[in-house]
Amino acid sequence: MSQHKVMIDTDKCVGCGICAKTCVAHNIAINDKKAETVLDDCLMCGQCAAVCPKEAVSVSGYDDKQIKKEENIRLNPDDVLEVIRFRRSVRQFKQEKIPREIIEQILEAGRLTHTAKNMQDVSFVVLDQEKDRIEQMAVSLFKKMKPFADLFSPMAKNNKITDHFFFFNAPVVIVILAENKTNGILAAQNMEFVAEAHGLGVLFSGYFTTAANASRKIKNSLEVPRGKSIAMTLVIGYPDVKFLRSAPRKKLDVTYM
Ligand SMILES: Cc1cc2nc3c(=O)[nH]c(=O)nc-3n(C[C@H](O)[C@H](O)[C@H](O)COP(=O)(O)O)c2cc1C
């Protein structure tokens, strides 16, 4: 049984049907000029509550209220593209602390990101004090695996597994846990945008993510709950590198049909 419920205030409802039309689950019907839910169970996405012009619909059981949208915030598409064009993975960081409010805003971007089936299955582990200890576990694991990787990849052979191979001495690392990996990665991308807007640099650490998912010991240290795995790991800090040119990318590969 869901802990959430779609609530319809029949005194306020005028039976306009906008909620029923918007509901992807076809879970709202209009009877006698009033909206009513068909089943108690649904996605609980809250689109019905978001479109109701009379504030007659709400979804119970969520910690935060649905905030009224006051103005149409529009990003300039050219600016957005420029941000994407010039964003780079950062692997050199200043030893400068990131204010707590900024970390919280980055986490908020993750929390607010949409999820498949509205699972809201994404959670976060912020590594600060425990960062080096946990990185060392991954370093030990990779050192054991390296001889095998070296056999298959000249690039792996050329790579040294140093003590800071995964986190590059960054002040903060955020490990993103999810049941559905795609959900976690979407959160990661939005978090990166907010971090970048604060002048921070970010690295997606696929290597740490792989090491952590392969190690029961690391997963226990990160307190990964049953059913979840590590979707992505964000290494974050103020960049100690300045990129003067955009990233080289292949030409657009697209088929219109
Ligand atoms: C999913 C993902 C995982 C990555 N994992 C690592 C990693 O473990 N270590 C690393 O140094 N770079 C990692 N990167 C960074 C990529 O190597 C980098 O994005 C790519 O070389 C292009 O460079 P740019 O991000 O500066 O444009 C990862 C990137 C992505 C998208």
Q: Which of 24, 20, 2 is nearest to 57 (CA)?
A: 20
Backbone angles phi, psi at 116, to 5 degrees: -60, 140
Residues 99 and 162 in one domain: yes
**Which of 176 and 67 is assigned the larger pLDDT?**
176
Percent of the chain with pLDDT over 70: 99
The alpha helices in the chain, defined as continuous H runs, are: 18-22, 47-51, 77-86, 100-112, 131-152, 154-158, 181-197, 206-214, 216-221
pLDDT score for 236: 98
At 194 the three-state DSSP class reads: helix
Distance between Cα 203 and ligand 1 center (Å): 7
Q: pLDDT tens for residues 219-253?
A: 999 999 999 999 999 999 999 999 999 989 999 99
Q: Which of 95, 104, 119 is nearest to 177 (CA)?
A: 119
In the predicted structure, residue 73 carries a pLDDT above the cut 90: no
Percent of the chain with pLDDT over 90: 86
Distance between Cα 114 and ligand 1 center (Å): 23
Query: Ligand 1 within 6 A of 238 CB?
Result: no
In a domain, 143, yes or no: yes
Residues 54 and 149 in one domain: no
Query: Ligand 1 within 6 A of 88 CB?
Result: yes
Q: Which atom of ligand 1 is nearest to the CA of 91?
A: 11
pLDDT score for 2: 66
In the predicted model, what is the mean pLDDT of residues 8-23? 97
In the predicted model, what is the mean pLDDT of residues 188-205? 98
- Residue 26 contacts residue 38 (beta carbons within 8 Å): yes
Query: Ligand 1 within 6 A of 247 CB?
Result: yes
Residues 182 and 227 in one domain: yes
pLDDT score for 1: 52
Q: Which atom of ligand 1 is nearest to the CA of 210?
A: 8
- 89, 135, 192: which to mutate for ligand 1, most atoms within 8 A of CB? 89
- 90, 160, 181, 204: which to mutate for ligand 1, most atoms within 8 A of CB? 204
At 8 the three-state DSSP class reads: strand
Work out how many domains the chain is built from and give that number: 2
Residues 110 and 157 in one domain: yes
151 burial via Cβ count (<10 Å: 0-12, 13-18, 19+): exposed
Query: Ligand 1 within 6 A of 89 CB?
Result: yes
pLDDT score for 17: 97
Kindly report the CATH number assigned to the domain that includes residue 19: 3.30.70.20
- Domain finish residue from 17, 35, 60: 60
Distance between Cα 244 and ligand 1 center (Å): 18
Residues 56 and 82 in one domain: no
Residues 128 and 191 in one domain: yes
pLDDT score for 69: 87
Distance between Cα 202 and ligand 1 center (Å): 10
To the question of pTM greater than 0.85 for the whole model, the response is: yes
Residues 95 and 149 in one domain: yes
Beta bridge partners of 35: 30
Kindly report the CATH number assigned to the domain that includes residue 94: 3.40.109.10
Ligand 1, atom 1: nearest CA belongs to which residue? 206
Query: Ligand 1 within 6 A of 203 CB?
Result: yes
Backbone angles phi, psi at 101, to 5 degrees: -65, -35
User: Which residue range(s) make up the domain with 127?
Assistant: 77-237
Q: Which atom of ligand 1 is nearest to the CA of 90?
A: 26
Distance between Cα 21 and ligand 1 center (Å): 42
In a domain, 36, yes or no: yes
Q: Which atom of ligand 1 is nearest to the CA of 243?
A: 26
Mean pLDDT (the chain) is 95
Show the tokens assigned to 202.
């970010």
